[in-house]
């Protein structure tokens, strides 16, 4: 269509997206699908770090920020696990392999995998779709296993059917060396012989030692109770990281809507340490 | 310093417009705003403040970023071309120019907004000194000298002439062209005297303005939680209609929204001014983190007076132009907020 | 004004009301703001004068959700809006104690400024119940006087009258300020050629900055969620793309309040760009009167609105083309 | 986008037709082999009163040159009273558009029953001719939709 090269003589603005092609779709749970995205000519759209996000858009529908769930150690593609919960996600869920979308990013900061987390024992706590951003870190850690200590993963969901990435959890994470995976579901269910109970309670039951750095992601209410539990167990807020979610538009700290206190969640976040969150006004 | 007699102003505008686009205050249906000069346009240099500040010459209220064209499953993205033609922004006031400094902090920070940056690069600002400031003005509080604005070119409108002083390289270049065209002539001793007189008069009036002594003491990053949690907000916001007047007339408000428009042949992605006063500003699929108007009202002032300076070496995101003071349908404004907090402080002091 | 404060204090003291909705004095003598007073002490800042143009009836939607009665001061024209809100079940009559306050015409700062008065330090003559013939302004550039009548809001020149349509008690004296025909402006435009009309409205509407002040102040625009705030409809956006404001927003907004608009004139009062928005509403009011008979929204709380009723013999839409 | 040959103006017409009468009328016109211009795009609505004034403005915004609303004859509405309300709304809307300086005649309401295939066809032919004489809709279009 457009053959002109009128725009090739200057750097493209960060607000101009790239076209991405959907190369694989996995139905994770009844309402979560994982989309694999490549550049139309093959390869990855961009490089990112674990915890970073990207703006995914279906032109004419809407655009929203999603965390990149694949690890940067994956050199072939990027993945997004997306829960069906609104206008844009409805359309995304109806898409097929070969369909094109637009993506811009990566945006935001990342979990400090190369700095603070290095050499640490790690405890990942996730609830539901909250596994998406942590999965990127977990796979990054597993691919650079020698840089980190023990790895514990606590992951809970409403039911066994709502556990995201179950195949990978069972086939990769559970078999990895020095990795303990603890799964739980909210209510008893036929065919489930694992743990039953809410994530915060399970974390307490597991009686983790406090020599770990914790990464949490899940529904706000879960984060709240998990944090309270951790503090009770003797963890300090400096040991705990999470990601915040707010309405975002530009992704580069300019459009103003994700501004809380003197931070812009899209640029200064989404990853925050809990002692940093404490300094923010209570508006998230 | 150069000058041009008032009668020749149309010729000056014509000459500028022949070389590049010229924006200046134009009166349409009774209201003055910056607009593109044409022979028919009613130029209005008398009105002290345009309704909207000059910011939309650099950050338009609505601008297309790119167009998406679809061909079956394939998507083509056609970015909008950047500003590549010079333009002159004539008649901005000291506060408007200062407002651009604030916007620069946002749009020129990494990653640079190339659309804005291109306009800044190609824009030549001819700022006009104020005479007869309004009681709603308080630019001096933010360090603006409205009697001598700093811009590419500063101009003074006296009773007989427009005096012209280039202050930057860009300004020098424009001045040289216009002088070569025989439009600008050397100002006389009398003109200089006249300008100095004007400046002195304006500065004397500024000293008498009621908001001149507004104190910003206590508005800094350290006071974040104290100000945020103050019960005063609950009282202050009551009359707020949740309209966007204050944000749209403000020279420093820069929040924007990004939207799609289906033209029938493609999808235009454009950005447009948004307002933190609007209920849908922070609305997303899983909820809204600012559900009450009090929170939204508080956000605007906290951002201008606390968050922004905390991130930008103490620079406030207010330039004291007083547009919100004049335009708010409920007569709420930043001055009332600052005063209310100051009064609270005094009361507390008195009680102790 | 003291009478109002004293009466408000009495009503607070005897427990009739738990809060007062009124106007709070600004810092300049001409910029009062709508405010809620929770106790007698706060009433020291209460003000009621010629600058209190704000119609408080819409604030009663929120006040109706609060515990206890709210004392609200309504000017004669505001009571029409309040009635209309009762009719639409948006306010709770039982939660309101209405003092109908006298009105001698409210002032427009825009008009005052357009008459060359600027840098005002203080003003006299704007007393609510004893308005002077002439307003006197002390300004930084000397004293200026302006006839009160010339400084009035447009709506006061076509005042609907001194009668309050609903109240619990009345306080203060009103004045007849009507000196123009309500439809004169509309008729003047109707008399123009289509090209002139088009040019006129384009010029006015192209000034719109889509701040939504007209919508948010309008007592008839009381939808919980405005159609123009939806995300489904791609024209329903806050963008100022000019053609949208000119060709959609204001026409639809006027249509949505047609038959319910009491002509309170708040839209024109608040517009930062001075767009005469009442010209749309009044056109609908005029058409309704021509086609379906006299109707004043807000004159009562139970009549059927003109767009929610019909007769078998209503005029056909083709009348518009036929009358030329 | 392409080099435009001096093409003849072909008006784009949107016709909102009520499901019960006018749409059936259009159907009858079709099955009776009565012709009406192909430039008329029919949008079926449950009742003429389903048509919100915004539909009409939106059609113009997106490039329509004329909009016509067809419903059951007054008194014959499938829902008894729908078209009475539609009649009042359209009268006011059309009057407003006229007031704003939009050419009279770009909008029209016509009552067409299920049996009036002929009326449907003649109405549409007339309307298209009228819009043809008025020319392209410039005053209500959105500049962004011009290609």
Average pLDDT, chain B: 92
| Same-domain status, C215 and C238 | yes
Q: Are residues C163 and C35 in the same domain?
A: yes
Are the beta carbons of A261 and B224 separated by less than 8 Å?
yes
Whether C126 maps to a domain, the answer reads no
Is position D131 within any domain?
Answer: yes
| Residue B164 belongs to some domain of the structure | yes
What is the C-alpha separation between D30 and D40, in angstroms, rounded? 13
Report percent pLDDT > 90 for chain C.
86
| Cβ-based burial of C89 (10 A; exposed 0-12, middle 13-18, buried ≥19) | exposed
Q: What percent of chain A has pLDDT over 70?
A: 96
Cα distances (Å, whole numbers) of residue A255 to B173, B298, B302, C180 = 34, 18, 16, 47
Query: pLDDT tens for residues A170-219?
Result: 888 888 888 999 999 999 988 888 899 999 999 988 888 889 999 999 98
Over residues D102-117, the pLDDT tens digits come to 988 999 999 999 999 9
Tokens matching residue A22 = 């959907």
Within-domain flag for D82: yes
**D111 alpha-carbon distance from chain centroid:** 12
* Whole-angstrom distance, CA of residue A96 vs CA of residue D18: 36
Residues B123 and B268 in one domain: no
The answer, yes or no, to whether residue B138 has pLDDT greater than 70, is: yes
Domain count, chain B: 2
B140 and B281 in one domain?
A: no
**How far from the centroid of its chain's Cα atoms is residue D80's Cα?**
22
DSSP string, B252-303: S---EEEEEEE-SSSEEEEEEE--TTSTTTTEETTEES--SHHHHHHHHHHI
Determine, for residues A7 and B81 on separate chains, whether the beta-carbon distance falls below 8 Å: yes
Q: What is the CATH number of the domain that holds D117?
A: 3.40.50.960
With vertex at residue C62, the alpha carbon angle to CA C57 and CA C65, rounded to the nearest 5 degrees, is: 125
State mean pLDDT over A37-63: 91
- Tell me if D7 is assigned to some domain: no
pLDDT digit string (tens) for D53-82?
999 998 998 889 999 999 999 999 999 999
B204 and B225 in a single domain? The answer is: no
The closest alpha carbon to A77, from A26, A140, A23, belongs to: A23
Taking the Cβ of residue C236 and every Cβ of chain A, the question of whether any pair is shorter than 8 Å is answered with no
Say what the pLDDT of residue C240 is.
63
Does residue A10 register a pLDDT over 60?
no
B25 and B140 together in one domain: yes
pLDDT of residue B49: 94
- Does residue C33 lie in a domain region? yes
Rounded CA gap, C88 and C297, in Å?
11
Map out the domains of chain A with their CATH numbers.
18-107 (2.40.30.10), 121-243 (3.40.50.80)
Please tell me whether residues C258 and C295 are part of one structural domain. yes
DSSP class per residue in C267-292: HHHH-TT---THHHHHHHHHHHHHHH
- Burial (CB < 10 A; 0-12, 13-18, 19+), residue A266, is buried
- Look at D144 and B265 and tell me if their CB atoms are within 8 Å: no
Cβ neighbourhood burial of A91 (10 Å; 0-12, 13-18, 19+): middle
Portion 103-132 of B in contact with A at CB < 8 A: 106-107, 109, 111, 113-115
Q: Of B143, B177, B208, which residue is a domain's last? A: B208
Q: Are residues C87 and C226 in the same domain?
A: no
The pLDDT-based confidence of B233 (bands split at 50, 70, 90) is: very high
- Three-class SS of residue A4? coil
Same structural domain for residues B202 and B67? yes
Q: Is residue D134 part of a domain?
A: yes
CB B188 within 8 A of CB B315: no
The pLDDT of B104-119, averaged and rounded, is: 93
pLDDT at C236: 55
Decide if C117 is inside a domain: no
Identify the domain boundary among B177, B208, B239.
B208
pLDDT of residue A209: 87
* Nearest partner of C213 among C155, C159, C253, C183, judged by Cα: C253
Same domain, B72 and B184: yes
Does position C166 have pLDDT exceeding 70, yes or no?
A: yes
How many folded domains does chain D comprise?
A: 1
User: Do both B186 and B335 map to the same domain?
Assistant: no
**Ranges A2-11, B80-89, B253-262, B283-292: which has the least confidence:** A2-11
Kindly report the average pLDDT of chain A as a whole number: 88
Residue D143 pLDDT more than 80?
A: no
> At C235, is the pLDDT very low, low, confident or very high (cuts 50, 70, 90)?
low
Look over chain C and give the mean of its residue pLDDT values, rounded to a whole number: 92
In a domain, D147, yes or no: no
Search chain D and give the residue with CA nearest C290.
Answer: D92
Q: How confident is the model at residue B350 (pLDDT cuts 50, 70, 90)?
A: very low
Residues 268-307 of B with CB under 8 A from A: 269, 271, 274, 276, 281-286, 288-290, 295, 299, 302-303, 306-307
- Mark whether C30 and C164 lie in a shared domain: yes
Per-residue pLDDT averaged across A272-281, rounded? 88
Asked whether residue C285 falls in the same domain as residue C163, the answer is no
Q: Is residue D46 part of a domain?
A: yes
Strand order in the sheet with A240-243: A195-196, A179-185, A151-157, A121-127, A212-217, A240-243, A271-273
Domain assignment present for residue B352? The answer is no
- Residues ≥6 apart with Cβ < 8 Å to B137: B95, B130, B146, B206, B209, B211, B320, B321, B322
pLDDT for residue A240: 93
pLDDT band at A87 (very low <50, low <70, confident <90, very high): confident
How high is the pLDDT of residue D70? 96
pLDDT at residue number D146: 63
A8 pLDDT exceeds 60?
Answer: no
* Chain A residues touching B106 at Cβ < 8 A: 254
Residue B142 DSSP class: G
Residue B213 lies in a domain: no
Q: What's the pLDDT score for residue C239?
A: 67
SS3 A245: coil
pLDDT, tens only, B173-203 = 999 999 999 999 999 999 999 999 999 999 9
Work out the average pLDDT over C104-124.
Answer: 93
Q: Is residue D4 part of a domain?
A: no
pLDDT in tens, B240-291: 999 999 999 999 999 999 888 888 888 889 999 999 998 888 876 667 788 8
Q: Are residues B238 and B179 in the same domain?
A: no
Assess whether pLDDT exceeds 50 at residue A36. Answer: yes
- Residue A5 pLDDT > 60, yes or no? no
* More reliable by pLDDT, C98 or D103: C98
Question: What's the average model confidence in pLDDT over C206-216?
Answer: 92
Same-domain pairing of C198 and C275: yes
B306 and B189 inside one domain: no
Task: Write out the residue range of the structural domain in which residue D21 sits.
Answer: 13-139
* Tens digit of each residue's pLDDT (9 = 90 or more) over A89-141: 999 999 999 999 999 989 999 999 888 888 899 999 999 999 999 999 999 99
Which residues of B make CB contacts under 8 Å with D? 261, 263-265, 268
Asked if B197 and B244 sit in the same domain, the reply is: no
Q: Per residue in A139-170, pLDDT tens?
A: 999 999 899 999 999 999 999 889 888 888 88
Q: Which of C171, C196, C219 is the last residue of a domain?
A: C171
pLDDT at D112 (0 to 100) = 95
Question: Does C101 share its domain with C188?
Answer: no
Please give, rounded to a whole number of angstroms, the shortest distance from the CA of B282 to a CA of chain A.
Answer: 5
Show which of B180, B208, B236 is a domain's final residue: B208
For residue D91, being part of any structural domain is answered with yes
Q: C-alpha angle B17/B19/B24, rounded to 5°?
A: 30
Mutating which of B27, B28, B29, B282 best tests the C interface, going by the most C Cβ atoms within 10 A?
A: B29
Counting the structural domains of chain C, the total is 2
Determine the average pLDDT of the residues in A46-57. 92
Determine the pLDDT at residue C233.
64
In a domain, B33, yes or no: yes
CA C256 from chain centre, in angstroms, equals: 16
Best CA proximity match to B271, nearest among B118, B122, B115, B78: B115
Whether C110 is covered by a domain: the verdict is no
**Interface confidence (ipTM) of the complex:** 0.89
| Closest-CA distance of chain B to residue A58, Å | 10
Is residue A50 scored above 80 in pLDDT? yes
Please answer yes or no on whether D145 and B263 come within 8 Å at the CB atom.
Answer: yes
User: Is the pLDDT reported for residue A247 higher than 80?
Assistant: no
C231 is in which domain, residue-wise? 184-322
Mean pLDDT of D17-46: 93
Same domain, B179 and B69: yes
Q: Do B226 and B332 reside in the same domain of the chain?
A: yes
Range of the domain at B296: 221-347
**Residue C276 forms part of a structural domain:** yes
Q: How many Å apart are CA B177 and CA B185, to the nearest integer?
A: 12
Domain membership of residue B131 (yes or no) is yes
Q: What's the rounded Cα separation, in Å, for the pair C144 and C146?
A: 7
Full-model pTM: 0.91
What's the rounded mean pLDDT across residues C78-91? 96
Mean pLDDT on C5-21: 96
For residue B51, the tally of other CB atoms under 10 A from its CB is 21
Q: Touching check for C94 and chain B: CB below 8 Å?
A: no
Same domain, C166 and C233: no
pLDDT for residue B348: 63
C95 and C212, same domain (yes or no): no
């Amino acid at each position: 269509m457009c053959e002109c090269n009128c725009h090739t003589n200057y750097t493209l603005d960060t607000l101009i997206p790239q076209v991405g092609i959907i190369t694989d779709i996995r139905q994770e749970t009844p309402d979560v699908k994982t989309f694999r995205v490549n550049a139309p000519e093959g390869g990855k759209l961009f490089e990112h770090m674990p915890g970073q996000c990207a703006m995914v858009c279906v032109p004419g529908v809407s655009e929203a920020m999603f965390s990149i769930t694949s690890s940067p150690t994956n050199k072939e593609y990027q993945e997004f696990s997306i829960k069906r919960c609104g206008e844009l996600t409805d359309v995304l869920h109806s898409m097929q392999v070969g369909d094109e979308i637009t993506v811009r990013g990566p945006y935001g900061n990342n979990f400090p995998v190369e700095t603070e987390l290095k050499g640490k024992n790690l405890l990942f706590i996730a609830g539901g779709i909250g596994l998406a951003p942590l999965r990127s870190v977990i796979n990054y850690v597993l691919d650079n296993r020698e840089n980190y200590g023990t790895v514990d993963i606590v992951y809970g969901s409403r039911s066994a059917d709502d556990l995201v990435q179950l195949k990978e959890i069972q086939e990769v994470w559970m078999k990895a060396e020095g990795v303990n995976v603890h799964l739980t579901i909210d209510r008893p269910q036929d065919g489930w012989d694992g743990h039953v109970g809410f994530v915060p309670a399970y974390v307490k039951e597991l009686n983790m030692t406090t020599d770990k750095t914790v990464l949490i992601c899940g529904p706000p209410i879960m984060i709240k109770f998990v944090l309270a539990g951790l503090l009770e167990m003797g963890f300090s807020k400096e040991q705990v990281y999470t990601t915040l979610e707010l309405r975002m538009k530009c992704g580069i700290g300019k459009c103003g809507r994700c501004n809380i206190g003197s931070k812009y969640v899209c640029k200064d976040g989404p990853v925050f340490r809990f002692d940093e969150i404490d300094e923010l006004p209570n508006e998230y | 310093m150069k000058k041009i007699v008032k009668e020749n102003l149309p010729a000056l505008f014509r000459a500028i417009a022949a070389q590049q686009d010229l924006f200046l205050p134009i009166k349409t249906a009774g209201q003055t705003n910056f607009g593109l000069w044409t022979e028919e346009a009613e130029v209005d240099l008398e009105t002290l403040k345009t309704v909207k500040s000059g910011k939309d010459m650099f950050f338009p209220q609505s601008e297309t970023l790119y167009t998406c064209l679809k061909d079956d499953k394939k998507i083509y993205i056609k970015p909008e071309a950047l500003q590549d033609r010079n333009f002159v922004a004539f008649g901005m006031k000291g506060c408007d120019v200062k407002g651009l400094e604030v916007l620069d902090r946002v749009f020129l920070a990494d990653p640079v907004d190339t659309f804005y940056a291109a306009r800044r690069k190609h824009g030549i600002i001819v700022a006009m000194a104020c005479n007869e400031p309004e009681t709603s003005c308080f630019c001096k509080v933010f360090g603006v000298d409205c009697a001598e604005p700093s811009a590419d070119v500063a101009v003074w409108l006296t009773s007989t002439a427009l005096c012209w002083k280039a202050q930057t390289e860009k300004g020098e270049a424009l001045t040289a062209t216009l002088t070569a065209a025989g439009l600008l002539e050397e100002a006389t001793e009398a003109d200089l005297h006249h300008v100095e007189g004007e400046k002195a008069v304006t500065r004397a009036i500024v000293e008498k303005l009621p908001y001149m002594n507004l104190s910003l003491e206590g508005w800094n990053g350290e006071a974040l939680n104290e100000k945020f949690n103050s019960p005063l907000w609950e009282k202050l916001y009551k009359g707020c209609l949740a309209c966007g007047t204050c944000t749209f007339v403000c020279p420093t408000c820069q929040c924007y929204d990004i939207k799609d428009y289906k033209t029938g042949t493609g999808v235009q992605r454009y950005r447009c001014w948004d307002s933190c006063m609007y209920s849908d500003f922070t609305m997303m699929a899983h909820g809204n983190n600012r559900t009450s108007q009090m929170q939204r009202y508080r956000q605007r002032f906290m951002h201008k007076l606390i968050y922004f300076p905390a991130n930008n070496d103490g620079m406030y995101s207010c330039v004291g132009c007083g547009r919100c003071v004049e335009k708010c349908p409920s007569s709420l404004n930043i001055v009332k907020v600052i005063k209310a907090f100051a009064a609270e402080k005094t009361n507390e002091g008195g009680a102790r | 004004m003291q009478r109002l404060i004293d009466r408000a204090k009495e009503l607070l003291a005897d427990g009739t009301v738990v809060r007062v909705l009124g106007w709070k004095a600004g810092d300049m003598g001409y910029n009062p703001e709508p405010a809620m007073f929770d106790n007698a002490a706060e009433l020291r800042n209460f003000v009621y004068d010629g600058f209190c143009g704000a119609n408080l009836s819409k604030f009663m939607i929120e006040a109706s959700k609060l515990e206890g009665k709210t004392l609200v001061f309504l000017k004669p024209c505001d009571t029409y809006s309040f009635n209309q809100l009762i009719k639409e079940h948006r306010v709770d009559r039982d939660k309101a104690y209405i003092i109908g306050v006298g009105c001698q015409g409210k002032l427009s700062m825009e008009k005052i400024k357009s008459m060359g008065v600027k840098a005002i330090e203080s003003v006299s003559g704007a007393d609510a119940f004893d308005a002077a013939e002439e307003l006197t302004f002390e300004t930084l550039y000397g004293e200026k006087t302006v006839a009160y009548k010339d400084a009035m809001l447009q709506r006061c020149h076509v005042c609907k009258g001194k009668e309050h349509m609903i109240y619990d008690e009345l306080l203060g004296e009103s004045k007849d300020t009507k000196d123009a025909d309500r439809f004169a402006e509309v008729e003047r435009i109707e008399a123009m050629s289509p090209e002139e009309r088009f040019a006129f409205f384009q010029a006015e509407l192209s000034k719109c900055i889509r701040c939504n002040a007209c919508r948010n102040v309008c007592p008839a625009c009381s939808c919980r969620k405005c159609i123009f705030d939806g995300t489904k409809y791609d024209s329903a956006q806050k963008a100022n793309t000019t053609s949208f404001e000119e060709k959609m927003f204001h026409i639809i907004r006027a249509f949505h309040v047609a038959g319910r608009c009491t002509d309170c004139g708040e839209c024109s009062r608040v517009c930062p760009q001075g767009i005469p928005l009442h010209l749309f509403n009044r056109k609908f009011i005029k058409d309704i009167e021509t086609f379906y008979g006299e109707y004043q929204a807000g004159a009562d709380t139970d009549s059927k609105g003109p767009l929610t009723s019909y007769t078998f013999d209503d005029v056909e839409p083709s009348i518009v083309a036929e009358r030329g | 986008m392409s080099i435009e040959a001096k093409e003849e103006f072909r008006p784009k017409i949107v016709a909102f037709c009520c499901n019960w009468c006018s749409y059936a009328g259009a159907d009858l016109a079709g099955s009776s082999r009565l012709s009406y211009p192909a430039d008329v795009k029919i949008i079926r609505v449950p009742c003429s009163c389903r048509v919100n004034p915004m539909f009409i403005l939106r059609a113009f915004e997106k490039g329509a040159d004329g909009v016509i609303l067809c419903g059951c004859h007054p008194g014959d509405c499938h829902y008894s009273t729908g078209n009475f309300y539609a009649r009042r709304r359209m009268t006011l809307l059309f009057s407003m558009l006229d007031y704003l300086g939009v050419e009279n005649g770009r909008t029209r309401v016509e009552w067409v029953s299920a049996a009036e295939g002929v009326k449907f066809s003649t109405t549409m032919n007339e309307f298209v001719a009228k819009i043809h004489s008025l020319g392209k809709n410039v005053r209500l279009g959105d500049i962004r939709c011009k290609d």
